[in-house]
Amino acid sequence: MENETIPKVEVISYRLYGELWLLAMATSVINRRSEATLAGGGTELTARMAGDMSSPVENSWTIFKEYHIDEDVGFALPYPLEDLPHPYDAWISIARNLPELIKNNQLRVEVEKLATLNINGLRGHRAQRLAHLVLGYITMAYVWGQGDGDIRKVLPSNIAVPYCKLSEKLGLPPILLYADCVLANWKKKDLNGPMTYENMDILFSFPGGDCGKGFFLVSLLVEIAAASAIKVIPSIFDAVQRKDSDTLQKALLEISSSLHKALEVFSQIHKYVDPNLFFNVLRIYLSGWKGNPLLSEGLLYEGIWDTPKKFAGGSAAQSSIFQCFDVLLGIQHSIGGVPADSAAEFLQEMRTYMPPAHHSFLLSLKSKPSVREFVLSEGNATLQEIYNKCVQAMVSLRNYHLQIVAKYIVIPARQQPQVEENLEEENRGTGGTNVMDFLKTVRSKTKNSLLKEE
């Protein structure tokens, strides 16, 4: 297969299409996609995407597969590909050698040598997700360079054009996402071995040694631990419809248990991620160009848009799993569907950074009978207590997240030599928000969802 270049006329027409796509991203990723070609075989998501979650429980995983939810790894991409065919292997080669190329100041030179490839040869969802991951890594490395303030404000067309075109196809923004570096950036060392940190690795790394491996894999394992509760969701809605409090209690206990396991896994971050390496190295490469004073106008995607565009960097708010439990438990961050504050607006915006099938799943949950209202209407003290255990488990996770942010962002920022110039850095997360204010608001809303004793 020869290196294919994109004709000039296609680039021009795609620039116009790119403008329309960006507008759609800002309004509704779901309406934009029509739930089109997704998993490996191209399963088409039809009306069932907003469909009947009250289907028999034994068929639940058939339904979940249409939402790209896996029985073992939840919202993570099961068994990501590690290689791409020629000519896309040129992207893989750069991504695999990223730390060395950056160290030798050769990364940008090698990127600028790349041909502009047509993405039509990327067959299947997993190949496309791998390409999106790889182009995301290359883009972050190209923009931030050696992390010393020598940044690039223009992404050259040989990367920008295929990256934006692939992003449009997947329904994702053209920036490194949580869905890339966490959900699609892993492999097992021993295929028959367990899903444990010791038996896993990441596919691609940034500078900072094993800091990135620790951060991405612990995040993934937290995701997988919490995802084990997804299987009971059909039972929950079935129990609500049948007014079966006993079945609902058992299902909610499973959710509570899974969330507690996720919290236990979360604690591994202290073992595998060094705070100073995270703050001074890895965090730089995860930062986006929205709410970032270093790229206040955004990034110019050459050959696509005539003006710079702003996209948020990877953030835990882009994880579907915890927003899933918010919706399921009726933890309200909005009033009448309208975001109540900037934290709620950010959470809503981050759904457009999720794979469209996952966003659709959250919408399908929202259309179901309210678990919270049923628990309230039953007047069953035991049921309310178990429901509160689930909400409290979410509060505990958000409390812990605040502690992690303090350790890995706030404290290292205060240790920087020119503190007066680092006040913004102290509280800015990779997603571009004031992360402490955001997390405190989300935690407060979660606490407010605890049912009060009569």
pLDDT digits (tens, 9 = 90+) for 136-168: 999 999 999 999 999 999 999 999 999 999 999
pLDDT for res 451: 93
Give buried/exposed letters for 102-112 (b at 16+ CB in 10 A, else e): beeeebbebbe
Residues of the chain with pLDDT > 70, as a percent, come to 81
Which residues belong to the annotated binding site?
A: 401
pLDDT range class, residue 65, cuts 50, 70, 90: confident
Q: 68: alpha, beta or left, given left = phi > 0 and alpha = psi -120 to 50?
A: left
Roughly how many angstroms between the first and final C-alpha of the chain, as a whole number?
70
> Which of 311, 308, 307, 309 is CA-nearest to residue 288?
311
More confident residue, 424 or 260: 260
pLDDT range class, residue 235, cuts 50, 70, 90: very high
> Which of 166, 177, 159 is CA-nearest to residue 108?
159
Q: What is the rounded average pLDDT of the residues 216-240?
A: 95
pLDDT for res 15: 37
Q: Specify whether the CB–CB gap between 125 and 100 falls below 8 A.
A: no
pLDDT range class, residue 453, cuts 50, 70, 90: low
Kindly tell me if the per-residue pLDDT of 356 is higher than 80: yes
The pLDDT mean for the chain works out to 85
Kindly tell me if the per-residue pLDDT of 185 is higher than 50: yes
pLDDT for res 396: 97
Q: pTM here?
A: 0.85
pLDDT digit string, tens, across residues 5-63: 333 333 333 333 333 334 433 333 333 333 333 333 333 333 343 344 444 344 566 67
pLDDT range class, residue 430, cuts 50, 70, 90: low
pLDDT for res 37: 35
More confident residue, 64 or 421: 64
More confident residue, 21 or 441: 441
Which residues belong to the annotated binding site for heme b?
A: 401
Kindly tell me if the per-residue pLDDT of 337 is higher than 80: no
Beta strands 187-188 and 334-335 are unpaired
pLDDT range class, residue 105, cuts 50, 70, 90: very high
Beta carbons within 8 Å of 411's beta carbon, 6+ residues apart: 275
Q: What is the rounded average pLDDT of the residues 212-226?
A: 97
Distance separating alpha carbons of residues 270 and 250, to the nearest angstrom: 33
Helix axes 320-329, 211-227, angle to 10 degrees: 30
pLDDT for res 35: 35
pLDDT digit string, tens, across residues 277-327: 999 999 999 999 998 999 999 999 999 999 999 999 999 999 999 999 999
pLDDT for res 386: 98
- The residues with which 197 forms a beta bridge, in sequence order, are none
